[in-house]
Amino acid sequence: MSNCIEILNLSKEEKLRVMEAIWEDLSKDDDQIESPDWHLQAIQETDQRLRSEQENIVGWHDAKKELRKRFE
């Protein structure tokens, strides 16, 4: 697929603009996109862990740091 090769040659900024354009297009009809069953189940499980204080809440900046460490 030649479009994939073209995307690989884009700068990060250009790739982000493409992603934003795709997201904006997909979001126009978000009421027509149905979440999969596993998504609701995952939300319910997380909510249950939060209520029982078994879920650790991490701030966005700390989460980004941790993820960067994991994937460096």
Cβ atoms of 26 and 33 within 8 Å: the answer is yes
Closest CA to 56 of 46, 67, 44, 65: 46
Residue spans of the domains in the chain: they are 1-33, 35-72
pLDDT value, residue 26 = 85
* Predicted structure pTM score: 0.46
| pLDDT for position 44 | 96
Specify whether the CB–CB gap between 22 and 15 falls below 8 A: no
The 10s digit of each residue's pLDDT in 15-62 is 999 999 999 988 887 677 788 999 999 999 999 999 999 988 899 999
Signed CA dihedral, 44, 45, 49, 55: sign only: negative
